[in-house]
A and B are shown apart, each in its own frame.
Chain A
Amino acid sequence: METPETPDEELVARTQAGDARAFDQLVVRFSPRLYGLVYNMTSNHEDTNDLLQEIFAKAYRSIKGFQGKSSFYTWMHSISVNMAINFLKKRNRRMTMSLDDVDNGIANDPEFIEATSDYDPRHQANLGELQKRLNEAMMKLSEEHRAVVAMFDIQGMPHAEIAKILKVSEGTVRSRLFYAHRQLQNYLQEFITT
């Protein structure tokens, strides 16, 4: 059994040498974080599950070509963001996503209620509505803007890391964030006090 301290690089090297169990460790290690990223781009748990399976399958098939020029973390996030964007573009072409497809199941989550407790009571009355509006607002952003918001605002990643993942400059990351926040302010005006 691997200890949690085994570095990613070592697990990657062992996977490249043919040890599939080492890759299993990487799957266990990265799936929660990547789930958050993909979910916040798709706003649908089923799609997220399918996509995450495909992401790890692709990573496993391509891992022999991973040369360690970036960290495994960055590499995995790049694969995830690119696959999620491609998936969303196909999904948008296929159909306009129904708002019923957006998952809205956390309104009764005690942690969520606790986290929103310092909001105006008027707004607390309908946390389900808040979550729904948040997801709708996210889905109105372009895939590229949504990816930046998901990584920066939701996952708390620094600009430099996002820039590496997206292979763009930090300035581009900042400008995408600025534009996305402006759009979100418009969509979520009723939840913002001036």
Chain B
Amino acid sequence: MSPEEQISKLLRLKRYEQPRPGYFEDFLQEFQDRQRAELIRRPLWEIAWDRIVSLAPSFQVPRMAYASIVALAVAASAIIVVHPGARASRGALAANRSTLSLTSSQPVTIGESVPVTLTSTGSPSVHYVLPTRPVSSYASSRSF
């Protein structure tokens, strides 16, 4: 018998290594008990994740790709729901409302981009100034 065959024969002896008698009869019961215990113990997100993974096994995509997609989806949802950028700009506008007035230290001319200023009541009002001549110059030349 060749050494290769002898090795195979020795390894076949491991077939005799079996669990205690009655083990397989108890195995199913233990499985059912563990399943019930797991249902109570497992967090919902873990169950949901398992469902997602089990529903999309046919695609040849690494598991980490699924994780990235789900993470992106969660992040996108969070951005949409919380929308921190919009909140911040809305907050800034609200803060400026009390300080904005009809007059501006910077004259604005027609033809440039038109700024929108807010009155203290909050209604938008546009402050136009004719080209080259600030409002103050009209006021100073006026006499009654």
Contact = CB atoms under 8 A, between A and B. Distances in A.
Contacts, number: 105
B16 A115 contact: yes
Interface stretch (A3-11, A30-38, A92-100): A30-38
A65 B58 contact: yes
A122 to B, nearest CB: 15
Interface of A is mostly: helix
Among B11, B32, B50, B55, the one with the most A-chain Cβ atoms within 10 Å of its Cβ is B11
A103 B24 contact: no
A110 B30 CA distance: 29
Contacts of A69: 58
Interface residues of A, number: 50
A103 B6 contact: no
A116 B11 contact: no
Nearest to A193: B6
Given A60-B35, A188-B10, A192-B6, A35 B19 contact: yes
B72 interface: no
B119 to A, nearest CB: 62
Nearest to B46: A61
B65 interface: no
B13 A116 contact: yes
A88 B31 CA distance: 22
> Most chain-B CB neighbours within 10 Å: which of A28, A45, A65, A103?
A65
Contacts of B35: 57, 60
B56 A134 contact: no
B27 A52 contact: yes
Contact of B54 (A32, A53, A65): A65
Interface of B: 1, 3-4, 6-8, 10-19, 23-24, 27-28, 30-32, 34-35, 38, 50, 53-58
Interface of A: 24, 27-28, 31-32, 35-36, 39-40, 45, 48-49, 52-53, 56-57, 60-67, 69, 103, 105-106, 109, 111-112, 115-116, 130-131, 134-135, 138, 149, 153-155, 181, 184-185, 188, 191-194
Given A115-B16, A184-B7, 6 more contacts: A31-B28, A65-B55, A106-B16, A115-B13, A131-B13, A131-B17
